[in-house]
Amino acid sequence: DTAVSQTPKYLVTQMGNDKSIKCEQNLGHDTMYWYKQDSKKFLKIMFSYNNKELIINETVPNRFSPKSPDKAHLNLHINSLELGDSAVYFCASSLSSGRAVAGELFFGEGSRLTVL
Amino acid sequence: SQKIEQNSEALNIQEGKTATLTCNYTNYSPAYLQWYRQDPGRGPVFLLLIRENEKEKRKERLKVTFDTTLKQSLFHITASQPADSATYLCALRRGRGGANNLFFGTGTRLTVIP
């Protein structure tokens, strides 16, 4: 009965490779997000999707591309990986406005990406 | 841009005491503020939400205050236990609606010493 699940949990790869991280939520939420947590534990939003439309795209390199086949899934694809991409990536979901606790985020367990 | 500062990177307290964590922000006032707990190797978990028109919110041993004049939120854990040891993150939402404009602080790592 996992609420937000993301795979893989660990990913070790070489510079220049392309990789994807998958995320699925079974909470019936209509908004999903990708956050990046760096080595100093700072959590920064990268993307959010609402009803399959991108509604935030922070200043991340265009090597990063979110893909949402349906509102329960938001995958993160990264091209030409660089050393600085090493971090923990968290998927999250929430209900959009109009709800009693609008915006409370439910996070996945994180995917630790190490670029060598 | 919004700056969110949490009082210290790490806080150690004795079991049974009250832990008080601080979240200060600059610029605009958020519509509401949230607190999350993060354990090592895990994702953040939502704890409490307090709206701009609320002064205080409680949940079991947790209490959050919100002072929009001081631009500060305090997070209290009373009768602290070693199991409360974790990193606590505050997060601010600027306007109405969903979590679109959610900004996180850098967190405070709390250690409760038995």
B61 contacts chain A (CB < 8 A): no
Contacts of A94 in chain B (CB under 8 A): 98-99
For A101, the closest chain B residue by CA position comes to: B49
Q: Please indicate if any CB of chain A lies within 8 Å of the CB of B46.
A: yes
The percentage of chain A sitting over the pLDDT mark of 90, rounded to a whole number, equals: 59
Residue numbers in B near A101 (CB within 8 A): 49
Chain-centre distance for alpha carbon A48: 8
Q: For A44-65, what is each residue's pLDDT tens digit? A: 889 888 876 777 776 788 899 9
pLDDT of A81-109, one tens digit each? 999 999 999 999 988 754 444 568 999 99
Q: What is the CATH number of the domain that holds A104?
A: 2.60.40.10
Full domain range(s) for residue A24 = 4-115
Residues 6+ apart with CB under 8 A from A95: A29, A30, A31, A101, A102, A103, A104, B98
Number of domains in chain A: 1
Structural domains of chain B, with CATH: 15-96 (2.60.40.10)
Q: How confident is the model at residue B101 (pLDDT cuts 50, 70, 90)?
A: low
**pLDDT tens-digit series, residues B41-68:** 999 999 999 988 898 999 999 999 999 8
